């Protein structure tokens, strides 16, 4: 069942986080639904602009609606990840999305506010919630002093003003993470003190953590042992930090890279071990099972495993 993003973030706030997984193809969709149900976890299925053009937005919608039929017990929201204004409007008009992200964080503050407010004005009358972003992700480089580096992170006072002026429903904050497999070098780290300060300034507003993949060492090692050339120093967010961040108001945790690593490991190992094979289905089947296992594991770490009965009860009461 597709539900509003608020129906998931409201009960989660300050208690656990909802995994938001980037989806591009059929195998990821099957694995995501299966793994979430195995863990009894609600989830957010998120679609980037790149995914909408890779798989065609109509194909993605049709596959997701079909997965909803195949797995009627799944409870999830559909979200546009890193949208520009026009893509947000397209998703709002489509009637398919629970929420959209307007990412104007690269713009000066006033322009970010103005674009976010325009999207909010179009989304809210349709019951669609809006995630916006403030701050610059992954900005704290090794050579930068702590004080200089903090300038890139979300300023908690500015967050108050931003949420008040835009009316956005959740805030993606720059808290030291970045997208991809190489998140932290030197003194770079997840800034719990910023998360806490933001929570104290805007209590009740869900915080979103982008760049949350953990980049497991073993996954990188297996990919490289099967012919990959990833930098073995690749490092991500400690999985044990997910729940600690959730208790400080991080309600949505975005995970894409780790799923890509599962895909790469499965396919590299499969074709290394079966050099004569050219049927796409055997590795595809392994990937679906491994991705399901991965999602169930992440749900445990996020604290969302086992939350489905509670979410269902809340939805029934609200209906």
Give me the residues that bind ligand G3H (CB under 6 A), please: 22, 48, 50-51, 81-82, 179, 256
Q: Residue 3 binds which one of ligand 13P, ligand G3H, Zn ion, none, with CB within 5 to 8 A depending on kind?
A: none
Q: Residue 51 binds which one of ligand 13P, ligand G3H, Zn ion, none, with CB within 5 to 8 A depending on kind?
A: ligand G3H
Query: Binding of Zn ion at residue 210 (CB under 5 A)?
Result: yes
Q: For the CB of residue 133, give the shortest distance to ligand 13P in the complex, in Å.
A: 10
Q: Which residues pair with 69 in a beta bridge?
A: none
Torsion angle defined by CA atoms of residues 67, 70, 74 and 79, in that order, rounded to the nearest 10 degrees: 10
Contacts of residue 279, Cβ cutoff 8 Å, sequence gap at least 6: none
User: What backbone phi and psi angles, to 5 degrees, belong to 211?
Assistant: 60, 50
Query: Binding of ligand 13P at residue 290 (CB under 6 A)?
Result: no
Sole binder of ligand 13P in the list 38, 160, 165, 180 (CB under 6 A)? 180
* Stretch 203-222: interaction string toward ligand 13P, x if CB under 6 A: -------xxxx---------
* Stretch 251-290: interaction string toward Zn ion, x if CB under 5 A: ---x------------------------------------
**DSSP character at residue 202:** S
Q: Is 273 a catalytic residue?
A: no
Quote the CA–CA distance of 146 and 143 in Å, as a whole number: 9
- Catalytic hit among 56, 73, 81, 147: 81
Task: Find the residue with minimal CB distance to Zn ion.
Answer: 210
Strands, E assignment, 95-161: 99-102, 129-134
For 125, other C-beta atoms within 10 Å of its C-beta total 9
Contacts of residue 304, Cβ cutoff 8 Å, sequence gap at least 6: 12, 16, 17, 18, 19, 39, 41, 42, 43
Using DSSP, state whether 22 is helix, strand or coil: strand
Query: Binding of ligand 13P at residue 22 (CB under 6 A)?
Result: yes
Quote the CA–CA distance of 26 and 63 in Å, as a whole number: 7
Query: Binding of ligand 13P at residue 99 (CB under 6 A)?
Result: no
For 193, other C-beta atoms within 10 Å of its C-beta total 13
Cβ proximity to ligand 13P, 22 vs 155, nearer residue: 22
**DSSP character at residue 296:** H
Stretch that binds ligand 13P, among 51-59, 255-263, 272-280, 296-304 (CB under 6 A): 255-263
Residue numbers of the site for ligand 13P (CB under 6 A)? 22, 81-82, 179-180, 210-213, 254-258
Q: List residues with catalytic annotation.
A: 81
């Amino acid at each position: 069942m597709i539900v509003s993003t608020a129906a998931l973030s409201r009960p989660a706030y300050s208690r656990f986080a909802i995994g938001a997984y980037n989806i591009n193809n059929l195998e990821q969709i099957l694995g995501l639904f299966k793994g979430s149900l195995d863990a009894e976890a609600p989830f957010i299925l998120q679609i980037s602009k790149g995914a909408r053009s890779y798989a065609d937005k109509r194909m993605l919608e049709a596959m997701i609606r079909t997965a909803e039929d195949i797995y009627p017990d799944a409870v999830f929201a559909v979200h546009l990840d890193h949208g520009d204004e026009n893509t947000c409007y397209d998703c709002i008009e489509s009637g398919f999305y629970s929420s959209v992200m307007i990412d104007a964080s690269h713009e000066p503050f006033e322009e970010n506010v103005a674009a976010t407010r325009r999207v909010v004005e179009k989304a809210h009358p349709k019951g669609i919630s809006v995630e916006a972003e403030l701050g610059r992700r992954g900005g704290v480089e090794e050579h930068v002093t702590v004080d200089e580096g903090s300038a890139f992170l979300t300023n908690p006072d500015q967050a108050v003003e931003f949420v008040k002026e835009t009316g956005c429903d959740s805030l993606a904050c720059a808290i030291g993470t970045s997208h991809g497999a190489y998140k932290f070098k030197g003194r770079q780290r997840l800034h719990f003190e910023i998360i806490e300060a933001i929570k104290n300034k805007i209590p009740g507003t869900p915080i979103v953590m982008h760049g949350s993949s953990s980049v497991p060492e073993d996954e990188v090692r297996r990919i490289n042992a099967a012919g990959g050339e990833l930098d073995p120093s690749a490092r991500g967010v400690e999985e044990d930090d997910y729940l600690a961040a959730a208790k400080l108001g991080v309600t949505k945790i975005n995970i894409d890279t780790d799923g890509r690593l599962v895909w790469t490991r499965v396919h590299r190992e499969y074709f290394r071990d079966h050099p004569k094979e050219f049927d796409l289905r055997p590795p595809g089947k392994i990937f679906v099972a491994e991705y399901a296992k991965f999602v169930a594991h992440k749900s445990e770490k996020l604290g969302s495993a086992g939350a489905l009965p509670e979410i269902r009860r809340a939805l029934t009461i609200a209906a």
